[in-house]
């Protein structure tokens, strides 16, 4: 037999296995990193929705009352429990913190800062907004109209 008909040597086979293994490990690393990033983006999207839902719930509760409002009363249920503070979605827990920076309660217009944090989030989500109990049916405030001489 000629040398050209003998096939691969053991060393050539081992080198090709090592090269294929290195390529496979690098592809697995890329896929696992992609999966982690996708999971993190999903958590950020859910946290953003939780923050928006919390703000909308506060707005709805403020619109239902004609009394002066503050954050402490808006986030409490009749059983004196904050039903907006701890949310679990798809088995993941989200902690919601509701603050009112720069306002002296009670008022008709309250600044709100909602922060949603989770163990799986790299950085908490913060949403700022305004809550009021004013409606479109409210009478426009009277203004002083100067009399003509």
Which pLDDT value is given to residue 115? 92
Give the domain range for residue 124: 9-132
Q: Which residues, 6+ apart, have CB-to-CB distance to 77 below 8 Å?
A: 83
- Whether 72 is covered by a domain: the verdict is yes
- Whether 145 is covered by a domain: the verdict is no
Look at the chain and report how many structural domains it folds into: 1
- Whether 42 is covered by a domain: the verdict is yes
Cis before 52 (ω within 30): no
Residues 79 and 69 sit within 8 Å (Cβ to Cβ): no
Tens digits of residue pLDDT in 23-51: 999 999 999 999 888 888 888 999 999 99
Q: Rounded to two decimals, what is the model's pTM?
A: 0.66
For the chain, what is the largest distance between any 2 Cα atoms, rounded to a whole number of angstroms? 125
- Whether 137 is covered by a domain: the verdict is no
- Whether 138 is covered by a domain: the verdict is no
- Whether 103 is covered by a domain: the verdict is yes
Tens digits of residue pLDDT in 111-139: 889 999 988 888 899 998 888 877 655 55
- Whether 16 is covered by a domain: the verdict is yes
9 burial (CB, 10 Å; 0-12 / 13-18 / 19+) is exposed
Residue 135 CA to residue 48 CA, distance in Å, equals 27
- Whether 143 is covered by a domain: the verdict is no
């Amino acid at each position: 037999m000629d040398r050209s008909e003998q096939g691969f040597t053991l060393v050539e086979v081992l080198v090709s296995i090592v090269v294929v293994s290195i390529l496979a490990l690098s592809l697995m690393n890329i896929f696992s990193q992609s999966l982690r990033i996708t999971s993190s983006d999903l958590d950020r999207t859910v946290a953003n929705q939780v923050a928006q839902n919390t703000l909308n719930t506060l707005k709805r509760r403020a619109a239902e009352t004609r009394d002066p409002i503050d954050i402490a009363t808006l986030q409490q249920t009749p059983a004196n429990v904050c039903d907006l503070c701890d949310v679990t979605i798809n088995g993941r827990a989200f902690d919601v913190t509701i603050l009112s920076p720069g306002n002296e309660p009670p008022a008709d217009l309250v600044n709100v800062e909602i922060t949603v944090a989770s163990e799986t989030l790299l950085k908490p989500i913060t949403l700022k907004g305004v809550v009021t109990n004013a409606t479109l049916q409210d009478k426009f405030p009277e203004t002083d109209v100067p009399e003509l001489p």
